[in-house]
Amino acid sequence: MTVATKEEEAPDAGDFLLWILVWSELAAFGILLAAFMVAGIFQAEAFAAARLHLNTPLAALNTAVLLTSGWQAARAARPGMPRARRQRSLVRAALLGLGFVAIKLFEYSGEIAHVGGEAYGAFFELYFLLTGFHLLHVLFGSAVLLLVRWKMEQSNIILITTLWHVFDLIWIVMFPIVYLA
């Protein structure tokens, strides 16, 4: 009878479920982004007019905030990091995530008046659906980052930081499509 080495062990069931979750998130946002882009093709003039009412510099700042949050999450996931430093990185990541939410809500306050405007077609409805769905993910992820700060198991840290990076990736793709196209 031989003892299995680390490389020969079966993958953790949590890893499999994590990747199902990651791919389902990417698929859901992919469908929403595809709908946004298709509508933009059919309503090109309306979408161009609507984009003039977006606060692109504020969205760019929010991109930096979210990516900085992702950097803090990545720091928390580093092997060998002392517990106190991991906890601080998780809290910083969560606070920056909440900062993203606050900035986005402020941005929404200047854009909400345009919903339903015939000149903008479906732009603002799809914009709020797409960015609002992402906003809810960031809000939920921030809460989970704070929960993991108290339940500091490596598997929990890997799970939330992996998802956090998926939220970063989605925003990195969404930002140019929504704001710059």
Q: What is the pLDDT of residue 8?
A: 39
| pLDDT of amino acid 137 | 97
State residue 112's pLDDT score.
93
Handedness of CA 25, 28, 30, 36 (dihedral sign): negative
Compute the distance between CA of residue 2 and CA of residue 16 in angstroms, rounded to an integer: 26
For the chain of 181 residues, list the mean pLDDT of each consecutive stretch of 10: 44 75 95 97 96 96 98 94 95 98 97 88 94 98 96 90 96 97 86
User: In whole angstroms, what is the distance from residue 30 CA to residue 124 CA?
Assistant: 18
Q: Tell me the pTM.
A: 0.88
CATH annotation of 25-180: 1.20.120.80
